Amino acid sequence: MTGLNDTNSTELSFRNLLNADTIAGLIFFCIGGFFTTSSFTLRFGSPMDMGPAFFPRSIAIIMMLFALAIIMRGIQQARAGKGSRVRIEILSILQVSAAIIFFALTLRWLGLILSGMGLMMIAGFSVKGARWHEVMFLAVTVAVTSGFLFIYGLGIQAPLLPRF
Amino acid sequence: MEIINNLVYGLGVAVTPYNLGFGFIGVLLGTLVGVLPGIGPVATISMLLPVTYALSPATGLIMLAGIYYGAQYGGSTTAILINLPGESSAVVTTLDGHKMAQQGKAGAALVVAALGSLFAGIVGTLMIAGFAPVLAGVAFLFGAPEYFSLMVLGLVGSILLARGSVMKAIVMILMGILFGSIGIDVNSGAARFSMGSSSLIDGFGVAVVAMGLFGLSELLRNLSSPPEHNVVAKRVTGLWLNKQQFSDAAPAVLRGTAIGSFLGLLPGGGAVLSSFAAYAVEKRLSRHPERFGEGAIEGVASPEAANNAAAQTSFIPMLTLGIPATATMALMIGAMTVHNIQPGPQIISRQPELFWGLIASMLTGNIMLVILNLPMIRLWVKLLQVPYRLLLPVILLFCAIGLYSLEYTTFDILAALGFGVFGYVLTKCECEPAPFVLGFILGPMMEENLRRALTISQGDFSVLFTRPISMVLMIATFILLLILMAPSIRRRREDVFTEGEA
Amino acid sequence: MKNIVFSCVVAGGLAMSVPTAAVAQDYPERPVTLVVPFPPAGTIDRLAREFADHLSKEWSQSVVVENRGGGNGIVGAEVVRHAKADGYTILIGSSSTHSVGPASDPNIQYDPLKDFTPISYLGDTPQVITTGPQFEANDLPTIIAQAKENPGSVTYGSVGTATYLAAALLEDASGAKLRRVNYKQFGQVLIDIVNGDVNLGVSSLSIAIGNIRQGQLVPVAVTGAERSPLLPNVPTVAETYPGVEASIWFGLYGPAGLPDQIAEEISGEFAAFAEAPEVKERWAREGFELRPRSADDFAKFNEDDLEKWVGLARKIGMEEAE
């Protein structure tokens, strides 16, 4: 599809709108908003006698103001046809998350060796060009050596093997 | 001369085969621990504490101290090679260090970090040897108003850390401050922003944030970009510094050493600032500040020198006042107490062999570290030419284990993942994580000191401007703000002009 | 006939008691975890590790110390509270987690008496009021008089709630109003006292004793029931204001429902550990008195202490969380 960057067009293409500034600004605004609203349960106080909410809420509000400015700059850029769409690889995020969440959930239950192997297999197979035998070999050897290194060598308190 | 006498005496204590041996074990363990993500000197030292009970106090401390600054070296190594800062002080090293690695200059980066740290370590040791009692007095000049002003200066200066949009850098700092305020409020005991979760009741650990925001987000980036890219470029240009690099780095090392030596003396939070401050100063003084963040060697040399210098001089408030700057120092004080040795102003006269032995061991320790680390550089570089598809799972596993080892909760692993995704998204949006980490660390300290200053002065804000040191720092902040704003005013005027033309 | 029934009942009773006795006899069969709810390197952490070592040797089983710091001890306490009551997870609790804390900290969700089984009292250290070279008043009556004359003019620096409530107890008894300055760690209190920003310090004796011995801090009064053997010339607060006592104490706890035999086994081991003169002396030198007490004694003590602090907290209006 062509013509997205016709500079004379003031028509905002939705694609272009999702540029670095607007997305960042939105994230910032939401986070600032979150902290502002969460701070309502705490006492605000006054400059002379600051309560626990004073500092965070003030910062959060300032942050939201900056966030708005950044969003506006992003919109301005999109209008001028300058911003470029941010590409986020959801797949990579899901793959790494799966590996880590698996490890976190099974560590205490399956022990370090097995959950470590699981993590390495999930992560190993996520990379392009992964070869079956490499991933498995690495998973087994590294998980086992790490188990001994960390638990016996460095004294980390974690179960080595499954505890049923 | 006094210094020489003291050092010779100290060396006499430190250079026995016994003490050298334990010192070596210490630095070896420390390097290993520093390289392994998440696992820090605290865990290792607390495990080894009982061992030190059996050793003579000097030997025990020499070993523990070795672990401490060995971990700094190791932490810088991973920061440069895989963008994973092993210690919070290594965060700044990732900015240019990792870029250099990606440009094939990993060897140079590692060498400059090692040599810069060695130089700083030697200078720091000499300073302690010569001026310990005087230096101890510096800590007393800094009360709550002074720390607050210092932190403000630090935060404003950290805007300089950013390469891109200043507004985004400011927001990253603010966001870091907000995340840092999660936890129990010192003054009121209220748990802030913990959402009723007992895992969050003390907030996030800085290691979790640093590992997630830097290490894991880097992993995510590498996963999505074509996997043919190795972590470091295939062709590594030499494993030493060439003339140009050396002459660029040398003055940076000097400046970093000066900054770090001074900031390390402030137990209330100087040491963490040292690497950030050194980087900001380098960038500010450079004739080509755009090079920073793109692999400027000064951006590695200066912070590394600064944090090692601070590591050395932070022993002063620890030994002469019993005030630990970090958890590791607290452990060392514990080790001394077991032997019935009280840190304090009289430690120099009462336990000369301990004091001077320890100081001299820093010299020998630093030398041992460089001897250990330099040949290993070749090994590291070879290791990182292993195809990334094989390295990634290993790095991920070590990170996960390291994160678990911090507080033995799986929550930390998940939290770091969260920060990793967060960092990945933000870097795609052209925001930088370094200012966030600085805000995260300094923000709470800033708030704590501000409220304390106001409590002491009974609500009088002017105390921040009337006390001499605080006043100087505030004026410096103001000047820095002006310097920062000036170019943007100019730029906006240019924008106006160009827009007018279009 | 009656004899047969009687014997059967006795036999039945014995048979039923065998399982628990068997459990107690086999305890411990696997590694035991001693949870310390504070970060490593503190006094209590070191004591825990020494005791763990002793237990390991006595039991030929590995006894490991796990530091679960956070929330002033809440995190560690919660971990043990939810653990199985089989004696393999025990807690080193303190006045912060089991009396002062629950009385004043709105974040604490557990009941210190019902959710835990007291095993043994470990020991205590008094708190000490100190001052520095910049403050003219050196004894308690003068300080109180000054504070009464100018309410809020005398400041004290302290870390944590135990010290805060101790000072509150003094204020309550003397009628003087002090101004509190909060700190995260004692080091900065020391600096601010020496350079005059803060007038007094309130802290545990074991933390301040080093500085006192080196002359940086001047001890004004201690908060124990009697004078501390480390500072025989320093009066107790109770000498001027009877009843004002506030020591920082530590004790061993298990989750609620811990079998008596196991509790007794552990408590007996601690008594053996603490009786060794070398051990007792070494800790006393740091200001920490080891005082083994029976579980019942300990339970009663915990109850009384909790009541005292709850009463004080209510009086000074701490119910309202910020």
**Average pLDDT over chain A, rounded to whole?**
85
Distance in angstroms (rounded) separating the CA atoms of residues C255 and C86: 8
Look at B454 and A50 and tell me if their CB atoms are within 8 Å.
yes
Residue B189 three-state SS:
coil
Which residues in A lie closer than 8 A to residue B428 (C-beta atoms)? 20, 86-88
Which residue of chain C comes nearest to B328, CA vs CA?
C41
**Tens-digit pLDDT profile for residues B336-384:** 877 778 788 778 888 888 888 888 888 888 898 888 888 888 888 777 7
Length of chain A, in residues: 164
Could you count the other beta carbons within 10 Å of the beta carbon of residue B212?
Answer: 27
Look at A52 and C322 and tell me if their CB atoms are within 8 Å.
yes
Look at B410 and A107 and tell me if their CB atoms are within 8 Å.
yes
Residue A51 has its nearest CB partner, among C33, C66, C322, at C322
Q: Return the amino acid letter for C115.
A: D
Q: Which of B367, B363, B368 is nearest to B11 (CA)?
A: B363
User: So what's the pLDDT on residue C2?
Assistant: 62
Q: What is the DSSP letter of A149?
A: I
First to last CA, chain C: 71
Element (H, E) at B369: helix B352-383
Distance in angstroms (rounded) separating the CA atoms of residues C21 and C31: 20
The Cα of A27 is separated from the nearest Cα of chain C by a number of Å equal to 29
**Tens-digit pLDDT profile for residues B206-240:** 889 999 999 899 888 888 775 455 555 555 556 67
Token reading at B454: 């106001």
Which residues in C lie closer than 8 A to residue B346 (C-beta atoms)? 214
| Cβ within 8 Å of residue B441, ≥6 positions away | B88, B176, B180, B206, B272
Which residues in A lie closer than 8 A to residue B408 (C-beta atoms)? 157-158
Could you count the other beta carbons within 10 Å of the beta carbon of residue C243?
Answer: 10
Which residues in A lie closer than 8 A to residue C66 (C-beta atoms)? 157
Beta bridge partners of B342: none
pLDDT of residue A164 exceeding 70:
no
Query: Do residues C56 and C86 touch, judged by C-beta distance below 8 A?
Result: no
pLDDT category at B291 given cuts 50, 70, 90 is: confident
The Cα of B76 is separated from the nearest Cα of chain A by a number of Å equal to 21
Residue C53 has its nearest CB partner, among B50, B323, B343, at B50
User: So what's the pLDDT on residue C5?
Assistant: 58
Query: Do residues B322 and B342 touch, judged by C-beta distance below 8 A?
Result: yes
Question: If you average pLDDT over residues A22-38, what whole number do you get?
Answer: 94
Q: What is the DSSP letter of A152?
A: I
User: So what's the pLDDT on residue B103?
Assistant: 84
pLDDT of residue A116 exceeding 90:
yes
Which residues in A lie closer than 8 A to residue B447 (C-beta atoms)? 55
Q: Does B321 touch chain C (CB under 8 A)?
A: yes
Decide the pairing of beta strands C127-131 and C200-204: antiparallel
**Tens-digit pLDDT profile for residues B91-134:** 899 999 998 888 888 888 998 999 999 999 999 888 888 888 88
Residue among A154, A157, A161 with most chain C CBs within 10 A, to mutate: A157
Q: What is the DSSP letter of B211?
A: I
Element (H, E) at C226: none
Query: What distance lies between CA C193 and its chain's CA centroid?
Result: 26
pLDDT of residue A143 exceeding 90:
yes
The Cα of A93 is separated from the nearest Cα of chain C by a number of Å equal to 31
Interface of B with A in 145-174 (CB under 8 A): 165, 167-168, 170-171, 174
Distance in angstroms (rounded) separating the CA atoms of residues C141 and C146: 9
Query: Do residues C154 and C301 touch, judged by C-beta distance below 8 A?
Result: no
The Cα of B460 is separated from the nearest Cα of chain C by a number of Å equal to 14
Which residues in B lie closer than 8 A to residue A100 (C-beta atoms)? 396, 400, 413-414, 417
Token reading at C243: 């009843």
Distance in angstroms (rounded) separating the CA atoms of residues C156 and C271: 37
Query: Do residues C247 and C127 touch, judged by C-beta distance below 8 A?
Result: yes
**Tens-digit pLDDT profile for residues B66-100:** 888 888 888 898 899 888 887 778 889 999 999 88
Interface of B with A in 34-73 (CB under 8 A): 39, 43-44, 47
User: So what's the pLDDT on residue A149?
Assistant: 86
Place of tokens 């570290």: B369
Look at B342 and C155 and tell me if their CB atoms are within 8 Å.
no
Stronger pLDDT, A89 or B475, i.e. the higher one: B475
Distance in angstroms (rounded) separating the CA atoms of residues B313 and B320: 11
Question: If you average pLDDT over residues B15-30, what whole number do you get?
Answer: 88
Residue B174 has its nearest CB partner, among A51, A62, A116, at A62
User: So what's the pLDDT on residue B204?
Assistant: 92
Which residues in C lie closer than 8 A to residue B140 (C-beta atoms)? 191, 194-195
Residue B334 has its nearest CB partner, among C41, C191, C214, at C41
Q: Which of B22, B74, B76 is nearest to B48 (CA)?
A: B22
Question: If you average pLDDT over residues B458-486, what whole number do you get?
Answer: 88
Residue B247 three-state SS:
helix
Beta bridge partners of C123: C250, C290
**Average pLDDT over chain B, rounded to whole?**
85
pLDDT category at B491 given cuts 50, 70, 90 is: low
User: So what's the pLDDT on residue C187?
Assistant: 85
Which residues in A lie closer than 8 A to residue B394 (C-beta atoms)? 120, 138, 142
Residue C213 has its nearest CB partner, among B198, B342, B455, at B342
User: So what's the pLDDT on residue A1?
Assistant: 44
Q: Which of C8, C257, C9, C7 is nearest to C115 (CA)?
A: C257
Q: Is the peptide bond before C28 cis (omega within 30 degrees of 0)?
A: yes
Stronger pLDDT, A80 or B453, i.e. the higher one: B453
Residue C65 three-state SS:
strand
Which residues in B lie closer than 8 A to residue A68 (C-beta atoms)? none
User: So what's the pLDDT on residue B501?
Assistant: 42
User: So what's the pLDDT on residue A13?
Assistant: 63
Q: Which residues of chain C carry a pLDDT beneath 70?
A: 1-25, 41, 318-322
Burial of B408 (0-12, 13-18, 19+ CB in 10 A): middle
Query: Do residues B330 and B41 touch, judged by C-beta distance below 8 A?
Result: no
User: So what's the pLDDT on residue A60?
Assistant: 96
User: So what's the pLDDT on residue B231?
Assistant: 53
Question: If you average pLDDT over residues B432-440, what whole number do you get?
Answer: 91
Query: What distance lies between CA C3 and its chain's CA centroid?
Result: 53
Distance in angstroms (rounded) separating the CA atoms of residues B461 and B449: 12
DSSP symbols for B301-352: HHHHHHHHHHHHHTHHHHHHH---SSHHHHHHHHHHHHTT---STTHHHH-H
Q: Does B374 touch chain A (CB under 8 A)?
A: no
Token reading at A113: 């060796």
pLDDT of residue B332 exceeding 70:
yes
Q: Which of B120, B103, B112, B107 is nearest to B254 (CA)?
A: B120
| Cβ within 8 Å of residue B462, ≥6 positions away | none
Token reading at B114: 């090692």
Query: Do residues A54 and B451 touch, judged by C-beta distance below 8 A?
Result: no
Interface of B with C in 104-123 (CB under 8 A): none
Walk across the sheet containing C89-94 and list its strands. Answer: C63-67, C32-36, C89-94, C248-255, C116-125, C289-293
Strand spans (E) along B373-463? none
Residue B187 has its nearest CB partner, among C39, C41, C182, at C182
First to last CA, chain B: 71
